[in-house]
Amino acid sequence: MNITVVGTGYVGLVTGTCFAESGHRVTCLDLDAAKIETLRGGGIPIYEPGLEELVRRNVKERRLSFTTSYPEAMKDADVAFIAVGTPPGENGDADLSYVLAAAREIGRHLTRYTVVVDKSTVPVGSADKVAEALREVTTQPFDVVSNPEFLKEGAAIDDFMRPDRVVVGVASERARAVMAELYAPFVRAEQPVLFMDLRSAELTKYAANAMLATRISFMNEIATLCEKLGADVDQVRRGIGSDRRIGHPFLFPGVGFGGSCFPKDVRAVMSMARHLGLDFDLLRAVERVNERQKRWLVEKAHKHFGTLAGRTFGVWGLAFKPRTDDMREAPAITVIEGLLAAGARVRAHDPVAAQVADGIFRGRGVTLVDEPYAAAEGADALLLVTEWNEFRQPDLARLKQLMAQPVLFDGRNVWDAAKVRAAGFTYYGVGRAAES
Among 175, 195, 215, the domain boundary falls at 195
Q: Is 434 inside any structural domain?
A: no
263 is annotated as contributing to ligand binding: no
Residues 164 and 258 in one domain: no
In the predicted model, what is the mean pLDDT of residues 341-351?
97
Pairing of strands 381-384, 366-368: unpaired
Among 242, 259, 291, the domain boundary falls at 291
The pLDDT tens digits for 121-130 are 899 999 999 9
CB 259 within 8 Å of CB 330: yes
Q: What is the mean pLDDT of the chain?
A: 94
Q: Is 269 inside any structural domain?
A: yes
Q: Is 435 inside any structural domain?
A: no
pLDDT band of 87, cuts 50, 70, 90: confident
121 is annotated as contributing to ligand binding: yes
pLDDT band of 369, cuts 50, 70, 90: very high
35 is annotated as contributing to ligand binding: yes
Residues 18 and 161 in one domain: yes
Residues 161 and 13 in one domain: yes
Residues 185 and 264 in one domain: no
228 is annotated as contributing to ligand binding: no
Q: Inform me whether the pLDDT recorded for 61 exceeds 70.
A: yes
31 is annotated as contributing to ligand binding: no
150 is annotated as contributing to ligand binding: yes
Residues 90 and 134 in one domain: yes
Residues 122 and 10 in one domain: yes
Which of 72-76, 91-95, 177-181, 209-213 comes out lowest in average pLDDT? 91-95
In the predicted model, what is the mean pLDDT of residues 89-97?
81
Q: What is the 3-state secondary structure (H, E, C) of the chain?
A: CEEEEECCCHHHHHHHHHHHHCCCEEEEECCCHHHHHHHHCCCCCCCCCCHHHHHHHHHHCCCEEEECCHHHHHCCCCEEEECCCCCECCCCCECCHHHHHHHHHHHHCCCCCEEEEECCCCCCCHHHHHHHHHHHHCCCCEEEEECCCCCCCCCHHHHHHCCCCEEEECCCHHHHHHHHHHHHHHCCCCCCEEEECHHHHHHHHHHHHHHHHHHHHHHHHHHHHHHHHCCCHHHHHHHHHCCCCCCCCCCCCCCCCCCCCHHHHHHHHHHHHHHCCCCCHHHHHHHHHHHHHHCHHHHHHHHHHCCCCCCEEEEECCCCCCCCCCCCCCHHHHHHHHHHHCCCEEEEECCCCHHHHHHHHCCCCEEECCCHHHHHCCCCEEEECCCCHHHCCCCHHHHHHHCCCCEEEECCCCCCHHHHHHCCCEEEECCCCCCC
Residues 330 and 258 in one domain: no
Residues 145 and 215 in one domain: no
What domain count does the chain have? 3
In the predicted model, what is the mean pLDDT of residues 35-51?
91
18 catalytic per annotation: no
Domain ranges, residue 252: 205-291
- Position 92 scores a pLDDT of 74
Of 18, 28, 226, 261, catalytic: 261
Q: Is 18 inside any structural domain?
A: yes
CB 252 within 8 Å of CB 268: no
The pLDDT tens digits for 236-253 are 999 999 999 999 999 999
- Position 425 scores a pLDDT of 97
Q: Is 360 inside any structural domain?
A: yes
pLDDT band of 436, cuts 50, 70, 90: very low
Among 261, 291, 321, the domain boundary falls at 291
Residues 239 and 182 in one domain: no
Q: Is 200 inside any structural domain?
A: no
Residues 178 and 215 in one domain: no
419 is annotated as contributing to ligand binding: no
CA distances from 363 to 326, 358, 366 (A): 20, 9, 7
CB 415 within 8 Å of CB 406: no
The pLDDT tens digits for 269-285 are 999 999 999 999 999 99
Q: Is 38 inside any structural domain?
A: yes
205 is annotated as contributing to ligand binding: yes
- Position 86 scores a pLDDT of 87
244 is annotated as contributing to ligand binding: no
The pLDDT tens digits for 295-304 are 999 999 999 9
Q: Is 221 inside any structural domain?
A: yes
CATH classification of the domain holding 374: 3.40.50.720
- Position 190 scores a pLDDT of 67
- Position 42 scores a pLDDT of 85
Rounded distance, CA 289 to CA 287, Å?
Answer: 5
Q: What is the edge-to-edge ordering of all strands in the sheet holding 345-349?
A: 366-368, 345-349, 312-316, 381-384, 407-410, 426-429
Percent of the chain with pLDDT over 70: 99
Residues 305 and 391 in one domain: yes
CB 114 within 8 Å of CB 78: yes
CATH classification of the domain holding 264: 1.10.1040.10
386 is annotated as contributing to ligand binding: no
Say what the pTM is.
Answer: 0.90
Q: How far is CA 208 from the centre of its chain?
A: 13
Residues 352 and 276 in one domain: no
In the predicted model, what is the mean pLDDT of residues 319-346?
96
280 is annotated as contributing to ligand binding: no
- Position 412 scores a pLDDT of 97
pLDDT band of 90, cuts 50, 70, 90: confident
What's the angle, vertex CA 85, arms to CA 89 and CA 73, rounded to 5?
150
- Position 434 scores a pLDDT of 61
In the predicted model, what is the mean pLDDT of residues 108-115?
96
151 is annotated as contributing to ligand binding: yes
Radius of gyration of the chain, Cα coordinates, nearest whole angstrom: 24
141 is annotated as contributing to ligand binding: no
